[in-house]
Structure formats: structure tokens, C-alpha cells
Structure 1
Amino acid sequence: MNTQPRRTPENVKARIVTEREYETLRLDSEDIAEFEYRPTACRQKYRMVVIRKNITKAKGEAALFDDVRYFFYITNEREWSADAIVFSANDRCHQENLHAQLKSGVRALRAPVDTLESNWAYMVMTALGWNVKAWWALSLPEPPGRWRDKYRQEKRWVLGLEFRSFVHAFVGLPCQVLRTGRKLVYRLLSWNPHLRVFFRLVETLNC
């Protein structure tokens, strides 16, 4: 049975922002450039790609002022175009999410101790906790077969988890440790829907 095509719904959010005169940022244009850059402590030069974003700050229908912001990308990739460098970095790294996780998730950007060196050690240790999460996800196998696509989706899901969600799903599991004969038995005392992924990794690491 043929149906009528749906009409594009009205952009209610944009209309409300204009009517209530909320302050908004509107991207007008972008400019991209690149140059060679050598940090003071480095012997070799790197490729620095810079984006200039021309932004207009508005309130309702009135433009308040123009704002210019710069974003820098440093790389040793020489073959890609400048546009490809930016798209790859934004698509792969998710810098804002990473900064948020390092700040609020593992608290790597806090300075709770009294010296610069001890704060550096604290930051390294907490950042390693974040790296363990990434290693955990990348270690999940993708065996060939009918479930390969499903396993790949689960792997990407774990890789994109926030650190707190990862801890609740795979780390903070109530467990009973039993010593029987010549071995230790770890008995999980609760269930969650992610244990199937957990046991897949356990089997892989035991091989």
C-alpha cells in the first residue's frame, strides 16, 4: 500500500530560540591553513594544520558581535590533505569526550597532592586507568561466522563507553572468592546484561 511522503517537521527549537531571544553561536565560515612547526624540545618538524572558525554571536534576530576561534592539529602525516587531517581527527579522537572523561571520569586532570612531580604521577596513573578500558575493548575478539557483526558492534559499544558506565558494567561486580583444592573459584553474585561480553573476554585472555 502506497503512502503519502511525510513533510519535514518545523524546526521548533530555532523558532523558540529566536522568539525568546536566547544567545546563540552561528558558524558563518571556516578557513584552513597549514605550516611547518618544530617544538622547542624536538629535533624534527611537524605539520601544523589550523582552522579558523568565523562565528557570529546573536541574540534573537540581532547579531551582537563576531567571534573568531582557532583550532590546531599537529601531525606527522604528510600524504593526506589538510581537510582529511581535520576530518580524521574529529571522527577518530573525539577530543571533547576524551577531555570530559579524563576530567570527570577518571579525574586525571585534578591536582590532589602537594608537589608537581606527585601530581604528574597521579595524572599518569589515572590516565592508565582510562587506557585499560580501551585495551579491554580492543581485546574483544571478532571471530568469523554468523555473529561477527554483532561482536563488532559490542566491541565498538564498549570502546565508546564512559568510564563510570564501564566500571559499573565490568569492574564493580560483587564476587565471592572460594579456595577449593588447588585453585581459586570466583563466583559472581549478581547478573547484568553485559556479562556475556565480560565472559567472552575472560575466555580470550585464558587462551
Structure 2
Amino acid sequence: MWKEVRYRYVVTNLPSSWSAEDVIDETYKRCDQENIMAGLHTGIAAWRMPVAQLRGNAAWLEIARLAWNLGKWTAQLALPKEVTRWEWKRFRRAFVDIPAQVIRTARQLRVRVLGTHRYINEFLSAHACLQV
């Protein structure tokens, strides 16, 4: 009896010469903000406020955002293509939590990366790619 109609709206700064279909298509192509917010919340715990002071929490949020951005840039620049779509937790376990030994000798400090890690080849190739 009643016809159900659903409306959606998009606030954008795209030129007014674009058609509504083009605007919606472009928006859906680049609209990944919800996934980013969810990743910052669940994966990296950016929204967790660990201290009772505003400046401390602001610093925590900046550090979390920097870690997120460094992970995404590293994935885009030096890692296989599928890594760019990984959740933070998977990325962290593959490329941040790397088993290693810190060896101190007379005048040097060395880090020995253990070869038993699942993504060791990708990690070492990314390290070589990002070397300046």
C-alpha cells in the first residue's frame, strides 16, 4: 500500500556541473572513512584516552595517528599491494611485532631479525626499498 522511499544525501565540494550519479559514484569510490575510524578505534586504540589530562590524551592521539599513517605509507611504498587493505592488527603482527635479538658488542649495537617470521622476506625487501 505505502511505497517505501529511501533518501541519501552527500555533502561535497565537487563542481556543480557534475550529475548526481557522478557525485555518488565518486563518493563511493573514495569513501573509506568509516573503515579508517573503526581501525583507529579497534586496531590501534587511538580513541582510548589513557591519562586524565587533555594534553596527554592529545599526544596519545597524535602518536596513534602517526603510527597509522606510517603503516599505511610503508604499505603503499614498499610492501605488496594487498597489504594496503589490511586491518591494523594484522599489519602490526606481520610488520611491527618482529621477533629480533638485540646484541651489544664492545662498540656496536646490532639488531638480528630472526628468520622464522612468516613475513620476513617482505619485511626485508621493504627495509631495502625504504633505505635512502
Q: Same fold (TM over 0.5)?
A: yes
Higher relative strand content? 1
1:105 correspondence with 2:43: yes
Cα deviation digits, residues 127-161 of structure 1 (max 9, x gap) = 111111111112217xxxxxxxxxxxx22x11111
- 1:89 paired residue number: 27
Alignment CA distance shift 1:181-1:111 (3 Å): closer
- 2:114 paired residue number: 189
How do 1:1-207 and structure 2 match up within 5 A? 29-31=5-7, 52=8, 71-75=9-13, 77-78=14-15, 80-140=18-78, 154-155=80-81, 157-179=82-104, 184-207=109-132
TM-score with structure 2 length normalisation? 0.75
Task: State the one-letter code of the partner of 2:39.
Answer: Q
Structure number with greater Rg is 1
Alignment CA distance shift 1:125-1:181 (3 Å): same
Quote the offset at 1:177 in angstroms: 2.4
Higher relative helix content? 2
The Cα RMSD (Å) is 2.7
TM-score with structure 1 length normalisation? 0.52
Contact in 1 for aligned 2:98/2:113 (Cα 8 Å): yes
Question: CA separation in 2, counterparts of 1:138 and 1:175?
Answer: 24
Aligned-partner SS, 2:26: helix
Structure 1: tracts of 5 or more residues without a match: 1-27, 32-51, 53-70, 142-153
Which range is displaced more, 112-121 or 132-141?
Answer: 112-121
